[in-house]
Structure 1
Amino acid sequence: MTPSLPARAPRPTRPQPLDAPLSRAASAPSLQRQLLKRLRDAVLGGTLPAGSTLPGTRALADALGISRNTVMAVYEQLLAEGFLQSDRRGTRVTELTRPVRTRQTSTPPPVARRVANLRPRAATPPAHEGGHFRPGVPALAQFPAGAWRRALDRAARRAGPAALGYGDPAGEPALRAAIARHLAVTRGVHCEPARIVVTEGAQDALALCVRLLTDPGDVAWVEDPGYRGAKTAMHAGDLEVLPVRVDAQGLCVEAAQARVPSPRIIYTTPSNQYPTGAVLSVARRLALVEAARRHRAWIIEDDYDSEFRHTGEPVGAMQGLVADAPVLYVGSFSKTMFPALRIGFVVLPDALMPAVADAVRELQRGAQRHAQLALADFIDGGEYARHLGRMRRLYRDRRRALLDALERCFAIEHQVEGGPCGLHLTLRLPARYPDRELVAAARAHGMAALALSTFAMRPASVDNGLVLGYGNTPEHLYEPLLRTLAKLARGVATR
């Protein structure tokens, strides 16, 4: 009887994901990318379990009708990424730890509690969408783009390849020197270039102040109503933000002095309070400096658009009012140049420099070096001053035209606030015209005015109104827009 032969072990079958042909369509990814994705998905999805032996590169290339080099490149990539391991026994799938799926798997981990404070209290038009009457937007069509391009070209040519590397963390020395000269002449700010830190816009400057001056849980006083970006920076730093009311003379220092607990920082816009347009009087400025010294607090002076004063001379900065004042002066070029430039700065007091110099070097990275060098050239060459002169005249005319149009066409009871400065006007409206509903209705008609009540942490009945920007809205549109706005106001009015 012929002895039976031992049964031959079955040949391992190639996993199904490897057998399907790859797409040859012109719009399809490359064959290598297709195979790489297929194998990754098969391993992660469990179709190729741990320990599975993959076919040799020549065999898989023949089966798929592709180059062996393509398969070899895919295997090498998956080996580098840790999906596969290779030894004398062949190429196998690595043992991977897969997350256990539970009912909670679809629920993401929690975010920081502070995020709730960073959400807007009411829907507002996103800044990037634009729209007529948007506050804070300059006349972008009037910017001398040609002169700016030439400044950028000169900066790139003069700096050479060196400017492609990291720069001074505090900003380009040429720009800091140009800012110091400009502030001394136009704003009465006394500083050496070494005390200036260039930032990525005013918001970054505020965030830097919070990081340098406060610890989580510290108290910040802010104007109410006031700039929402300042509150955002402070909430992001886990500060306790306490609103201080604003009246016709700016921040009510007398009321603030009685506040408990004491602040670590005090935020104010003294030259043109945002959004009401009030100017902080000299008496209140001195009282605020005294209060800061008594509480051992720092004052952040946000001088966001005082370059555009339409009558007389610009109101001087608080920073240079008293020697050794505990004031950090914040500014930017978003209003005077254009928002996308993203260059701001903070002037640090002498007394603060020894304590924070090392921290500034660690926190900052000296971004946008070519733009900084071009801006220094723009300032030193006189183009910046000429541009400011043209814009002052334009905004003065637009403000006057808006006031005239309001008187003729906005047939709704209102009170105009704000002095002859800046790029916006504030209208106080009776409570029967709810400002948030009015802003929502106006948005559908291409208007991006903001509701005054959204600037207040604790809105009062007097905080009902509109903030109308005139910087980037041509004069010929004022009358039709205001007529539409008045009609919308009557439509949302309550009995």
Structure 2
Amino acid sequence: MFLKLDADGALYDQVYRALRGQILGGRLAAAARVPATRDLARELGVSRNVAIMAYRQLLDEGYLTARKGSGTFVARELPRHLTTVAARRRPVAARTAAPVHLSAYARRVLEASHGVQFTWAPRRDVLPYDFRYGPPSFTDFPHETWCRIVARRARRVTIRDLDYGTPEGLPALREAIAEYAGRARAIACTPDQILVVNGSQQALDLAARVLVDPGDVVLMEEPHYRGARTVMKAAGAKIETMAVDDHGLRTAELAQRRTLSRLAIVTPSHQFPTGAVMPLARRLELLAWARRAGACIFEDDYDSEYRYSGRPIEALAALDDSGCVLYAATFSKVMFPSLRLGYMILPERLVEPIRSVKALMDTGGPSLAQAALVNFIREGHFERHLHRTRTRNASRRAAMLEAIERHLGSRAQVSGINAGLHLMLWLRDLPASRSRELRMRAARAGVGVYSVEPFYLSPPKQIGLLLGYASMPEKQIAEGIRRFAAIVNSL
């Protein structure tokens, strides 16, 4: 605690005034613990008796309270006359500071976010039927198993483990990921091509920093993930979009493009947000275009583990024979978001540039979580968890589809139902101009629904909603849709 003594009068009085100023100024909050007298004396370079005398006066005047065996604390409530004095002594507000010069990057971030603070945290007003897309069901996660593994790894931490880790991630985790990617996504890669990142958002940022200069054209799907668009606009990219249909990006239109694109960002295994799956022929067309254009492709494989019909689909990166695909995946959707771990599988020519940039950004991620994840994967818990949650999410998906059919019928059209953790719902006869009204009325009924408009550069003319179903039980999903449908049917 920083205390400035004013050199006026006895030492204990100087300490008393300094502490009182901290309390009245709000820098020492109500009920906050204050240092022990021995510690305060050592910090200020005074005798302990000086500190004791200052504390005694503060206790007598009601600024501090003492709890036997616990320590000394700021009073929870100051007497009225003390707060009145504090109000009178409050310093005059400082003059308005000169405007801060923001970098071009910061100005682009603010412009791209349109004044809305970016956050992935849940909404503050907790709704009983919240169809927020993205988060998995935390009750499905084997929490106790994970905690045991984390505790076991923590007990084995050595002195060497307290030092910085490598920016590319723990070797053992990269080996485990390489094995899993080969088994689950048919990607043949070495651990040296794996880069452990703090989720797919950092992967996008790394790709932008390494591959995009201001003014470069980045090709994106329409609609698309807003977080990717904002990262690229912050890098100074010019965003150009191509429409998607029921089979993903319309790759036949690539041949008609006249502008040179540096990078294309795609979600071929489960297009975000429509849910379309890109067939093999289009994947090969996209790879051929990248070779001709000398462009790279960022494959965002954000939730392909959850597929409910048809055979598993190999990743676009598994078909890449020219080293143009940067593959990114995250553990946020299959485990839990606060783990903040994901990974990139990089073409060999991009490993060192992207690794070097990441080293400057964060010097490497937390080692304990990575070490625990190694055990979680190698002991079989990860794939058992995937199997269980895939089954549970299929049941939740079925409950949502049944409720939509029952309560909305022909008024609704759904897409993206074969995979993932969400679906898109289109209300055929309601214009987009009524979207905000609908969502506000739904919130008042305890139902959280989310517009598709932020994912379009040219928003659609009818109401489209993105509804997540992974974080609620079936009965809650059914009741939420029933309540929502009652509002829709009243419009």
TM-score, structure 2 as length reference: 0.77
For 2:369, the aligned partner's letter is: A
C-alpha separation in 2, matches of 1:171 and 1:125: 25
Report whether the alignment pairs 1:469 with 2:461: no
| Cα deviation, residue 410, structure 1 | 2.6
Q: Which residue of 1 aligns with 2:210?
A: 212
8 Å CA contact 1:201–1:334 kept in 2: the answer is: yes
Q: Match for residue 298 of structure 2?
A: 300
Work out the CA distance in 1 between the residues paired with 2:429 and 2:256: 30
- Out of 273, 276, 284, the residue aligned to residue 274 of structure 2 is 276
Offset at residue 324 of structure 1 (A): 2.4
Which of 131, 134, 147 is matched with 2:132 structurally? 134
2:97 aligned with 1:105, yes or no?
yes
Partner residue, 2:178: 180
CA distance in 1, matches of 2:177, 2:256: 37
Residue from 376, 388, 391 that aligns with 1:390? 388
User: What's the offset of the Cα at 1:397?
Assistant: 0.9
Pick aligned residue for 2:343 from 342, 345, 368: 345
Change (3 A) 1:133 1:455: same
Partner residue, 1:372: 370
Contact in 2 for aligned 1:139/1:471 (Cα 8 Å): yes
C-alpha separation in 2, matches of 1:19 and 1:412: 84
After superposition, the C-alpha distances for 1:222-270 in whole angstroms (9 at most, x for unaligned) are: 1111111111221222211222211111012223443342111100000
Q: Which moved more, 1:211-220 or 1:168-177?
A: 211-220
2:245 is matched by which residue type in structure 1? D
Amino acid at match of 2:372: A
Deviates more, 1:306-315 or 1:375-384: 306-315
Question: What secondary structure, in the 3-state scheme, does the structure 2 residue paired with 1:286 have?
Answer: helix
Partners in 2 of 1:478 and 1:358 — Cα distance? Answer: 45
Aligned counterparts, 1:146-225, within 5 A: 146-225=144-223
Is 2:481 the partner of 1:487?
A: no
Displacement after TM superposition at 1:167 (Å): 0.3
SS of the equivalent of 2:448 reads coil
- Which residue of 319, 322, 335 corresponds with 2:320? 322
Report the equivalent of 2:455.
455
Tell me which of 296, 311, 314 is aligned to 1:313: 311
CA distance in 1, matches of 2:465, 2:13: 58
The answer as to whether partners of 2:431 and 2:461 remain within 8 angstroms in 1 is: no
Q: Is the contact made by 1:125 and 1:448 (CA closer than 8 Å) also made in structure 2? A: no
Q: Is the 8 A contact 1:409 1:479 kept in 2?
A: no
2:379 aligns with: 381
2:328 and 2:440 map into 1 onto residues whose CA distance is 32
Trace 1:3-42 onto structure 2 (pairs within 5 A): 32-34=18-20
- CA drift at 1:121: 8.9
Show the counterpart of 1:285. Answer: 283
- Between the aligned partners of 1:173 and 1:211, the Cα distance in structure 2 is 24
Q: Are residues 1:444 and 2:444 paired?
A: yes
Deviations 1:98-151 (A, max 9, x none): xxx87x637665573213443269899964226521111111111100110111
CA distance in 1, matches of 2:245, 2:143: 39
| Cα distance between partner residues in 2 of 1:484 and 1:358 | 52
Residue aligning to 1:7: none
Instruction: Give deviations 1:341-393, integer Å, cap 9, x for gaps.
Output: 11011110123235545444444422111000100110011000110010010
Which of 375, 398, 423 lines up with 1:400 in the alignment? 398
Q: What amino acid is aligned across from residue 371 of structure 2 in structure 1? A: L
Q: Which moved more, 1:139-148 or 1:125-134?
A: 125-134
Aligned to 1:11: none
2:109 is equivalent to residue 118 of structure 1: no
Q: Would the aligned equivalents of 2:206 and 2:357 in 1 still touch at CA under 8 Å? A: no
**Unaligned runs of at least 5 residues, structure 1:** 1-15, 42-56, 68-100
Partner AA of 2:349 in structure 1: A
Corresponding letter in the other structure for 2:334: T
Q: Given that residues 265 and 297 in structure 1 are in contact (C-alpha distance below 8 angstroms), is that contact kept between their aligned partners in structure 2?
A: yes
Partner residue in 1 for 2:240 = 242
| Closer, same or farther: CA 38–429 of 1 in aligned 2, 3 Å | closer
- 8 Å CA contact 1:22–1:34 kept in 2: the answer is no
| TM-aligned CA deviation for residue 160 of structure 1 | 2.3
Which secondary structure does the structure 1 equivalent of 2:472 belong to? Answer: coil
Q: Is 1:273–1:279's contact at 8 Å kept on the other side of the alignment? A: yes
Change (3 A) 1:436 1:296: farther
Q: Distance in 1 between matches of 2:102 and 2:320?
A: 47
Q: Is the Cα contact below 8 Å between 2:168 and 2:195 reproduced in 1?
A: yes
- Give the deviation of 1:437 after TM superposition: 3.3
- Aligned mates of 2:13, 2:109 — CA distance in 1: 45
Give the whole-Å Cα distance in 2 for the aligned partners of 1:106 and 1:443: 41
Measured in 1, the distance between the counterparts of 2:482 and 2:12 equals: 63
Q: Cα distance, 1:322 vs. partner?
A: 3.3
For structure 2, list consecutive stretches of 5 or more residues without a partner in the other structure.
1-5, 28-44, 56-93
Counterpart contact for 2:413–2:428, Cα < 8 Å: no
Moved more, 206-215 or 327-336: 206-215
Change beyond 3 A, Cα 1:114–1:358: closer
Q: How does 1:74-89 map to 2 (within 5 A)?
A: none
Deviation at 1:399, TM superposition (A): 0.8
Write out per-residue CA displacement over residues 206-231 of structure 1, whole angstroms, 9 at most, x where no aligned residue.
11111121222211111111111111
Matching of residue 429 in structure 1 with residue 421 in structure 2: no
In structure 2, distance between residues paired with 1:247 and 1:126: 28
Q: Which moved more, 1:336-345 or 1:226-235?
A: 226-235
Partner AA of 1:230 in structure 2 = A
1:87 matched to which residue of 2? none
